[in-house]
Amino acid sequence: MTLQQEIKVAVDAVVFGYESKGNLSVLLIKRGVEPYKNTWALPGGLVLENEALETAVKRELKEETGVTIDYLEQLYTFGKPKRDPRNRVISVSYFGLVRPNHFKIKADTDADEAQWFSVNDLPKLAFDHNTIFQTAEKRLKSKLLYQPIGFDLLSKEFPFSDLEHLYTTILGQDIDRRNFRKKIMSFGFVEATDKIQQVGSGRPAKLFKFNKQKYDALLDDGFYFDIKFV
């Protein structure tokens, strides 16, 4: 049997943004070329002939948005035959979580604009990018239940309420705060400091810090938080 293939490989990036006490957002670009010209989409594009997938997704993200991220986690491969009207394209998707204010976004190449959108108010996206986004959001939420992530999104020293807010924002539900605090503290990678923070006229809050060394020591065993919701 003679095998004929004209399949192209692309990469797409779902970059979530989170600010302390803020909302969860995602980085989108407005396409400047057909198909789907003037439609919002995830940053991404075709992989070059001799280019690694990881190199390609970082290049496309940098070219289209100006954002550079050291770590993007591979999410899923999307390959339905008609997902791209031009030709057969298989997309390997990635996702990451960053602080938007750490980057100055700037659209370039085939992107006319780059912008952060609240995950609760997304426009209709080009191709099957809404499905890719939904898959990434689901993965991010499930990941919080077995592996703590996002400590680099908090200040070096933070009130425990900031960590609670991070979880409630991403999970989209109110958590049982007492159970959550007990569970987190039992692992030993969040430590109390001798400092307090005074915000307005409210009660002073003790500050905590993340112990990455203890976290890395536990990482191989995995985590399961069994978070209880209100």
pLDDT, tens only, 113-122: 999 999 999 9
The CATH number covering residue 181 comes to 1.10.10.10
Q: Which of 6-15, 25-34, 145-154 has the lowest mean pLDDT?
A: 145-154
Tell me how far apart the alpha carbons of residues 51 and 59 are, in angstroms, rounded to a whole number: 10
CB atoms within 10 A of CB 64: 29
Is residue 109 located within the same domain as residue 24?
A: yes
36 occurs within a structural domain: yes
Is residue 129 located within the same domain as residue 172?
A: no
pLDDT, tens only, 197-227: 876 666 788 999 999 888 888 877 766 667 7
pLDDT, average across residues 146-157: 82
- Using CA atoms of 45, 47, 48, 51 in order, give the dihedral in degrees to the nearest 10: 130
pLDDT, average across residues 37-43: 97
Instruction: Tell me which residue range forms the domain holding 163.
Output: 147-219
Q: What is the pLDDT of residue 103?
A: 87
Structure tokens at 18: 């989170």
Is residue 91 located within the same domain as residue 197?
A: no
**Which of 51, 73, 113, 157 is the catalytic position?**
113
Tell me how far apart the alpha carbons of residues 161 and 56 are, in angstroms, rounded to a whole number: 38
State which of 144, 171, 194 marks the end of a domain: 144
Q: What is the pLDDT of residue 8?
A: 95
* Percentage of the chain exceeding pLDDT 70: 95
Q: Give yes or no: 113 in active site.
A: yes
pLDDT, average across residues 79-92: 94
Is residue 134 located within the same domain as residue 29?
A: yes
Is residue 30 located within the same domain as residue 99?
A: yes
Is residue 198 located within the same domain as residue 126?
A: no
The confidence band for 96, taking pLDDT boundaries of 50, 70 and 90, is very high
DSSP string, 174-222: -B-HHHHHHHHHHHSSEEEEEEEE--TTS--EEEEEE-HHHHHHHHTT-
Tell me how far apart the alpha carbons of residues 218 and 69 are, in angstroms, rounded to a whole number: 25
Tell me how far apart the alpha carbons of residues 137 and 93 are, in angstroms, rounded to a whole number: 12
| Residue 128 near residue 78, CB atoms below 8 Å | yes
> Model pTM?
0.90
Is residue 212 located within the same domain as residue 163?
A: yes
Q: Which amino acid is at 52?
A: A
Is residue 167 located within the same domain as residue 86?
A: no
The structural domain count of the chain equals: 2
Q: 192: which strand partners?
A: 208
Is residue 129 located within the same domain as residue 215?
A: no
Is residue 204 located within the same domain as residue 192?
A: yes
Residue 22 has pLDDT above 90, yes or no: no
Is residue 50 located within the same domain as residue 108?
A: yes
Closest by alpha carbon to 48, among 1, 99, 11, 2?
A: 11
Within the chain, what is the greatest distance between any pair of CA atoms? 77
| Residue 116 near residue 192, CB atoms below 8 Å | no
Q: 174: which strand partners?
A: none
Residue 107 has pLDDT above 80, yes or no: yes
Q: 93: which strand partners?
A: 12, 76
The CATH number covering residue 33 comes to 3.90.79.10
Q: What is the pLDDT of residue 12?
A: 98
